[in-house]
Amino acid sequence: MIREALSYLYVNAKVMAKEGKFLSSHKWDDLWGCVSPGEIVSLLEGTDYFPYLSEGSLNDAIELEKAVLEEYSDTGREIANIIPKGAQQLKEFILRRWDIINLRSIMRGIHGGFGKEQIMDSLIEGGEIGSNLLSSLADAEGMEDFVALLENTPYSTLSDSMPKYNETKNLYYLESAIDKIYWTYLWQATLKGNRIKEFKEYIERRVEVQNLKIILRAKSNKMNLEDIHAFLIPECPLLNDILPVFDEENISGIIALLEGTAYFEPLTSVEQEYENTESVLFFEDMLDRLVTKKAADIRKKKPFGAGPLIGFLISKDVEIQNLLAVIRATEVDLDRESIRELVVRK
């Protein structure tokens, strides 16, 4: 235990210093009221994001978003380079996440009909996929070409979702598939070998939440199990009672099957809001809160080992999600309360 604590001393000191620079609640109160990129830029002065901001960020939400992601990438690589040798799964968690972010950007660019230069400009350095392959992917003539180039990579199974994409031209099918690839890899890796117990608990929570989001949204949209089965992350015991009766049960019935788990009471508490609005965002928000709660619990349980590092990675991810939500809201003229609904509560 002492040896483990010593191995995390440097990286934990580094992340604790960075946590002191997280955006404060007062700053968030001001950010929620922003209606332009320029207002957001002014509020980011003095933060770790400010050195990444260019003049273009003042008027262009896309430029501002890229600057925020560049800071996130640099932070991730800095932490990845000092992670103890016994915690390589955390390094994989960071680097593969950037592969997913870049692959999503390329898919959206191809789907939107953007040229290679515009797609390449949206990519952020930080993952494991080499620059040559990223360049080839950005230059793909279409989605079929893009998926074909991923053969012999961990993302080759994207091809299984191409029929649905071709049929509907809905990017949801490919984005859901790539999320499944990411979380399935991490989940299966944590089930094997000598893995950090706290990290396994976190990945288990993320896998369960990812699956529940898919299930609840599918029930809300009156979809069948056949429509979503390909996107569910396998080897998730939480689903053992749900999948056999998925097509027969409504949302209330699905939630009732979760009794005795960490999800039953939180989801039940917002069931009336769902009934009033038919919006699954209430369920998804509650599930996101359970993820951040798990991070806080891990930190308390393991304050001298992997806990602070895992807590930092999760908290940083939440901050980035929320900041991007505020930035994107300036493009569609959302009011303050609507923006609040987009963010993940800590």
- Tens of pLDDT, residue by residue over 105-118, are 999 999 999 999 99
Q: In the structure encoding, which two tokens stand for residue 337, read together? A: 């309360």
Half-sphere exposure of 196 (CA within 13 A, CB side): 27
Indicate the CATH number for domain 197-305.
Answer: 1.20.1690
- Tens of pLDDT, residue by residue over 143-154, are 999 999 999 999
Q: Does residue 5 have a pLDDT over 90?
A: no
Q: How many CB atoms lie within 10 A of CB 272?
A: 10
Q: What stretches of 1-157 adopt beta strand conformation (E)?
A: none
Given this model, what pLDDT does residue 165 score?
93
| Distance, CA of 67 to CA of 54 (rounded, Å) | 8
| Cβ atoms of 210 and 183 closer than 8 Å | yes
- The 10 Å CB-count burial string (b at 16+, else e) for 294-331 is bbebbbeebeebbbbbbbbbbbbbbbbebbbbbbbbbe
Sequence ranges of the domains in the chain: 197-305
Mean pLDDT of 159-181: 91
- Tens of pLDDT, residue by residue over 87-139, are 778 888 888 888 999 999 999 999 999 999 999 998 988 888 999 999 999 99
DSSP 191: T
Q: How confident is the model at residue 236 (pLDDT cuts 50, 70, 90)?
A: very high
Q: Does residue 346 have a pLDDT over 50?
A: no
Mean pLDDT of 292-308: 83
User: % helix / strand / coil in the chain, to the nearest 5?
Assistant: 70, 0, 30
- The 10 Å CB-count burial string (b at 16+, else e) for 195-204 is ebebbbbbbb
List of residues 6+ apart from 224 with CB closer than 8 A: 246, 247
Mean pLDDT of 233-258: 94
| Distance, CA of 346 to CA of 337 (rounded, Å) | 17
